[in-house]
Amino acid sequence: MYSEAAAFYDLIHDARDRDANAEATVFIDEIRLRNPEARTLIDVACGTGANLGRFSESFEVVGLDASADMLAIARRKYPRVQLVTADMRSFDLGRRFDAVVSIFSGVGYLLEMADLRRAVATMAGHLNPGGVLMLEGWVEPESWRGSEVSVDAVEAPGLALARVTRSTRDGPHTEFTSRYVAATNAGLETIDEHHVMRLSDPDEFAGAYRQAGLRFERLPDLLRPGRAVYVGIAAP
Residue 97 pairs in a beta bridge with 127
Cα gap 127→133, rounded to integer Å: 8
pLDDT tens digits, 103-118: 999 999 999 999 999 9
Name the CATH topology of 142-197.
S-adenosyl-L-methionine-dependent methyltransferases (2.20.130)
Cα gap 91→20, rounded to integer Å: 25
Cα gap 152→162, rounded to integer Å: 6
- DSSP assignment, residue 179? E
Name the CATH topology of 6-141+200-233.
Rossmann fold (3.40.50)
- CATH topology match: 6-141+200-233 vs 142-197: no
| Residue extents of the structural domains in the chain | 6-141+200-233, 142-197
pLDDT tens digits, 38-50: 999 999 999 999 9
How far, CA to CA in Å, does 231 sit from each of 90, 158, 182, 183, 210?
A: 20, 43, 39, 42, 11
Cα gap 204→114, rounded to integer Å: 10
Which 3 state secondary structure label does DSSP give 107? helix
Predicted pLDDT of residue 106 = 97
pTM score, whole prediction: 0.96
pLDDT of the chain along its 236 residues, tens only? 678 899 999 999 999 999 999 999 999 999 999 999 999 999 999 999 999 999 999 999 999 999 999 999 999 999 999 999 999 999 999 999 999 999 999 999 999 999 999 999 999 999 999 999 999 999 999 999 999 999 999 999 999 999 999 999 999 999 999 999 999 999 999 999 999 999 999 999 999 999 999 999 999 999 999 999 999 999 99
CB of 2 closer than 8 Å to CB of 100: no
Cα gap 32→127, rounded to integer Å: 15
Predicted pLDDT of residue 206 = 98
